């Protein structure tokens, strides 16, 4: 990991750096330019004068033009004006028609559009069990999990709401089908359970119709019901968030980890020779890391993922897993570090064991509030610009609110909704260079949940300078969309 050094004094060099040794962050960003008074010359403010022209004398000998000439001129002018007005009206109507088409069809003001083709669909066509988008996007995100009990919710296109799924007639075959739709493999499926929906059932349930079967898309077989004779479905798509040996106690500044404590932690290595970044296993094929790790080395063939041990040296004897795809967030901003997240898809799946397991992605309704304890792990430097260890390190940190971290004395407004900051304001505990992409995890309901990926910080372990992490809760839909479509 990256933890670190004793707390330092308030006198410090606030040099923002990536937690990745191959990247450097510029020293701050200049404030928006504001023109100063007096820069531009002012326009003269002289009072305008007006010339009064005396009326010309009346010429009593002036003759009146012939009547036919006057009438001809009047008729010609009226015809031109009418033509001009007609053209203007037609142009206005054409513009209005174009705007109407743009908003109703292209922008789908009254519905939703397919991401790739731009085809506009009615709201009722989403999650109705009929594929209307070429890539089945309209039927790909119709289920989600809620809370630490993994309660299944289905989207109803008629009322545009998420509702708990009733366990009446439910079985594992339906469970496997839903998990596959969410982006998991059928072979990773664990089980379903019956759980209490609580206040989330105040508007009813989505319930399997009497003639339901396993051959059709499940969303086409669900209908709204005001009640449910069973409880709601709890769905476990993958066995996640469990470790054989959790951390025993908090140690300021961090300590070495043991095998099995953080089985989702991986080392991302360039050409299998040099540890560059960390990552977190979320399924046999998928790793979560940070987008900035891949700005210099963006070709998947250059990367190897190693896992299964806390020692980099011991893992070097294993061939590791080759990377098939690197998917950096399309809105990642290297200047602000906004949307600093990436997904790696492996060519071959990881083989799970006591030392290789996935961490849980946070479900809907799970928010890791300020003051919540969390843990960071990694093979990063033990102090700023220091050496990187062979052994995985770990430390406990505190999650702080965005408002707290954006105070001028702390990170001065740099924290966006795609980020979460954690550490110790007194200093001494932090992630550091080489920890990028690694996990920030929180324990809840006896499971570990991925709250963040290590992104950036100002030096390492300084007072009032906590580390910054990609907010995985913010990216949950983005992660699932790529798991479903890649």
List of residues 6+ apart from 314 with CB closer than 8 A: none
- Where residue 118 falls (left for φ over 0; alpha for ψ -120 to 50; beta otherwise) is left
Q: Which residues are catalytic?
A: 292, 340, 436
CA 469 – CA 473 distance, rounded (Å): 11
Phi then psi dihedrals of residue 336, to 5 deg: -105, -10
149-184 burial by CB neighbour count: b if 16+ within 10 A, else e?
bbbbbbbbbeeeebbbbbbbebeeebbbbbbbbbbb
Most distant pair of Cα atoms in the chain: their distance: 117
Burial label for 19, CB within 10 Å (0-12, 13-18, 19+), is buried
- Other CB atoms within 10 A of residue 144 CB: 20
Question: Chain centroid to CA 482: how far?
Answer: 11
SS3 of residue 31 by DSSP: coil
Q: Which residue has the tokens 């469990």?
A: 242
Tokens matching residue 291: 């987008």
Q: How far is CA 142 from CA 20, 153, 334, 359, in A?
A: 37, 8, 33, 23
Q: How far is CA 255 from CA 245, 247, 251, 265, 452, in A?
A: 15, 10, 7, 16, 20
CA 485 – CA 345 distance, rounded (Å): 12
Rg, the chain, Cα only: 32
**Residue 323 β-bridge partners:** 346
Closest by Cα among 394, 403, 414 to 457: 414
List of residues 6+ apart from 443 with CB closer than 8 A: 246, 373, 375, 449
219-236 burial by CB neighbour count: b if 16+ within 10 A, else e?
bebbeebeebeebbbbbb
């Amino acid at each position: 990991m990256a933890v670190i050094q004793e707390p330092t004094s308030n006198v410090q060099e606030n040099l923002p750096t990536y937690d990745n040794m191959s990247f450097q962050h510029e020293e701050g960003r200049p404030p928006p330019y504001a023109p100063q008074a007096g820069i531009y010359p002012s326009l003269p403010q002289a009072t305008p004068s007006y010339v009064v022209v005396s009326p010309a004398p009346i010429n009593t000998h002036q003759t009146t033009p012939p009547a036919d000439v006057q009438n001809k001129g009047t008729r010609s002018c009226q015809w031109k004006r009418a033509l001009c007005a007609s053209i203007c009206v037609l142009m206005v109507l054409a513009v209005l028609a174009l705007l109407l088409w743009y908003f109703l069809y292209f922008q789908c003001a009254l519905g939703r559009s397919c991401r790739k083709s731009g085809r506009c669909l009615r709201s009722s066509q989403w999650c109705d069990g009929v594929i209307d988008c070429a890539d089945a996007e309209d039927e790909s995100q119709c289920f989600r999990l809620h809370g630490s009990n993994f309660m299944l919710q289905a989207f109803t296109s008629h009322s545009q709401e998420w509702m708990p799924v009733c366990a009446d007639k439910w079985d594992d075959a339906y469970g496997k089908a839903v998990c596959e739709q969410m982006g998991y493999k059928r072979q990773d499926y664990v089980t379903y359970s019956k759980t209490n929906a609580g206040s989330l059932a105040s508007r009813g349930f989505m319930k399997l119709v009497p003639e339901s079967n396993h051959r059709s898309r499940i969303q086409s077989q669900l209908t709204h019901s005001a009640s449910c004779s069973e409880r709601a479905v709890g769905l476990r798509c993958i066995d996640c968030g469990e470790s054989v040996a959790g951390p025993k106690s908090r140690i300021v500044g961090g300590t070495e980890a043991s095998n099995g404590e953080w089985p989702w932690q991986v080392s991302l290595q360039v050409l299998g020779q040099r540890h560059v970044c960390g990552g977190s296993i979320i399924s046999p094929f998928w790793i979560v890391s940070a987008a900035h790790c891949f700005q210099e080395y963006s070709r998947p063939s250059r990367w190897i993922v190693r896992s299964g041990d806390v020692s980099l040296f011991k893992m070097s004897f294993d061939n590791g897993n080759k990377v098939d795809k690197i998917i950096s967030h399309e809105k990642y901003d290297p200047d602000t570090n906004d949307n600093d997240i990436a997904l790696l898809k492996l060519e071959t799946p990881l083989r799970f064991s006591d030392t290789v397991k996935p961490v849980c992605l946070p479900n809907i309704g799970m928010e890791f509030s300020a003051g919540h304890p969390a843990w960071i792990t990694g093979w990063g430097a033990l102090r700023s610009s220091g050496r990187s260890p062979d052994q995985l390190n770990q430390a406990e940190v505190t999650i702080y609110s965005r408002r707290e971290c954006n105070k001028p004395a702390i990170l001065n407004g740099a924290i966006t909704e795609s980020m979460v900051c954690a550490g110790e304001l007194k200093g001494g505990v932090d992630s550091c260079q080489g920890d990028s992409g690694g996990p920030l995890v929180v324990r809840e309901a006896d499971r570990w949940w991925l709250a963040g990926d290590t992104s950036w910080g100002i030096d390492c372990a300084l007072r009032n300078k906590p580390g910054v992490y990609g907010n995985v809760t913010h990216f949950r839909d983005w992660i699932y969309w790529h798991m479903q479509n890649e």
